[in-house]
Amino acid sequence: MGACASKPKIAPSLKYPETRKHDIEFISARCVVCFHAPLELCCIPCGHFCLCESCHKSMKSHSQTFCPICKGSVPDVQKIYIPTSNQHCISTSEEQLSEYKLFLETAESQIEYIEYMHRLTRLTTIVLMGYQAKRKSNYETIFNAYSKMESVLDQVVFIWNNDIVHPPHVPQQTNVPIRLLLSHSNHMYNRFNVCHVVKTPSMLVVDDDVLLSEYIIASMLRTYTRYPQSMIGLDYRSFDASGNYLTKRSTPERTLVIGKTMLFGVQYAEAFINNNLLLTASNPCEDSDDLAMSFLIRAKGHPPIVLSARKRDRTYLNDVDGLSNTRKWSKWMKDRSQCVRWVQGVFNLQKGSINYYTKRNPSVKSMEQTSV
């Protein structure tokens, strides 16, 4: 689960002392590793209820901290207590009755919470950022489409980077909630400063002049499930041995993903915001934060994965005053190349260092959350 997920409030409705169907299902379930001991532990964040304590200790002693079902990283586990009809004697005592009901409520809450967390692993959060009032029609189209994609999206986080112009209208009470964040300053890296509101393990950064289909988002999510440590994108870019930015396909060792469409784990957004070098005023990647993110993930040993998208899976909208449009092409390529060379040096120095992940940088102000 993403670093900012919170436990939902559960109000279970229980009947006493009826034995429920899921009690019987869990009683018969066995550890998927030893196939003998009953299930006791649920993997976090994937939500798979699949281990006994003995096998978990054995795996942990061999540094095998992954889920045996989905192979995802398991930084933590949750012990689940499953009530059965023979675990407590049926009694007319009010005190015993209250204790038993509380026991069932706790177990019910844990099961509900695990189901909630497991659902989030199948969804992602779209993060898009806006500045130009001239793109108002884009936002109407984007909000209308994404608000109906509840099968792949948990929410849409919309960051408004313009503190002078009022943000566009954000619809409320939609199937997929749309959350508006107001930024105090116009920085490209603001789109990575969202961990405090993202609940899913991954986030999908999309430009505000592009509309993705539900099909391609689902395809990216399936790929992420298989390769949760990699960045998933739709646009090939690369660089040569001299650090020159290239707009063509290259070898996997030199493949990059651009910010027009990129999906990655929320932990990388946190790592970006925590890296002081990436946020310095002299940083040549101010307008190329997508390249910096590509190298940040690459430095951890995970090259990006680029999928092929059908034309109907990506609709291009009004791109007035886009960064690549307002500069001469030669200037744009030069600036991107400068970023590539600089950020290569940053991560060559920091790769494997404990400074790679540092505590939150106090100089980065949190964005205001509206009551949308």
CATH (domain of 96): 3.30.40.10
Shared domain for 114 and 132, answered yes or no, is no
Shared domain for 238 and 97, answered yes or no, is no
Give the integer Cα–Cα distance in Å for 172 and 362: 32
pLDDT over 60 at 16, yes or no: no
Shared domain for 109 and 155, answered yes or no, is no
**What does DSSP assign to residue 121?**
H
Which stretches of the chain are assigned E, i.e. beta strand?
41-44, 49-51, 76-79, 124-130, 153-160, 178-182, 202-206, 210-212, 232-233, 236-239, 245-246, 255-257, 261-265, 305-306, 314-316, 368-369
User: Hey, how many other C-beta atoms are within 10 angstroms of the C-beta on 229?
Assistant: 15
**Token pair for residue 370?**
């509206």
Q: What is the mean pLDDT of residues 171-196?
A: 91
Give the integer Cα–Cα distance in Å for 22 and 145: 37
Residue that terminates a domain, selected from 88, 120, 152: 120
**Order of strands, edge to edge, in the sheet holding 41-44?**
49-51, 41-44, 76-79
Return the higher-pLDDT residue of 54 and 27.
54
In tens, the pLDDT along 218-260 reads: 999 999 999 999 999 998 888 888 889 998 877 777 888 888 8
Shared domain for 87 and 69, answered yes or no, is yes
CB contact at 8 A, 90 and 17: yes
Counting the structural domains of the chain, the total is: 2
Shared domain for 107 and 149, answered yes or no, is no
Shared domain for 348 and 277, answered yes or no, is yes
> So what's the pLDDT on residue 12?
38
> So what's the pLDDT on residue 28?
45
Amino acid symbol at 130: G
Shared domain for 227 and 95, answered yes or no, is no
> So what's the pLDDT on residue 96?
56
pLDDT over 80 at 309, yes or no: yes
Cα 15–chain centre separation: 37
- Helix and strand element counts for the chain (H, E): 9, 16
Write out the residue range of the structural domain in which residue 350 sits.
126-369
Average pLDDT of the chain to the nearest whole number: 79
pLDDT over 90 at 138, yes or no: yes
pTM, rounded to two decimals: 0.67
Percent of the chain scored above 70 by pLDDT? 75
Percent of the chain scored above 90 by pLDDT? 35
Shared domain for 294 and 336, answered yes or no, is yes
Shared domain for 87 and 170, answered yes or no, is no
pLDDT over 60 at 365, yes or no: no
Q: How confident is the model at residue 351 (pLDDT cuts 50, 70, 90)?
A: very low
> So what's the pLDDT on residue 99?
63
Shared domain for 58 and 145, answered yes or no, is no
Residue that terminates a domain, selected from 88, 103, 120: 120
Q: What is the mean pLDDT of residues 309-326?
A: 78
CB contact at 8 A, 259 and 209: no
pLDDT over 90 at 210, yes or no: yes
Residue that terminates a domain, selected from 120, 138, 166: 120
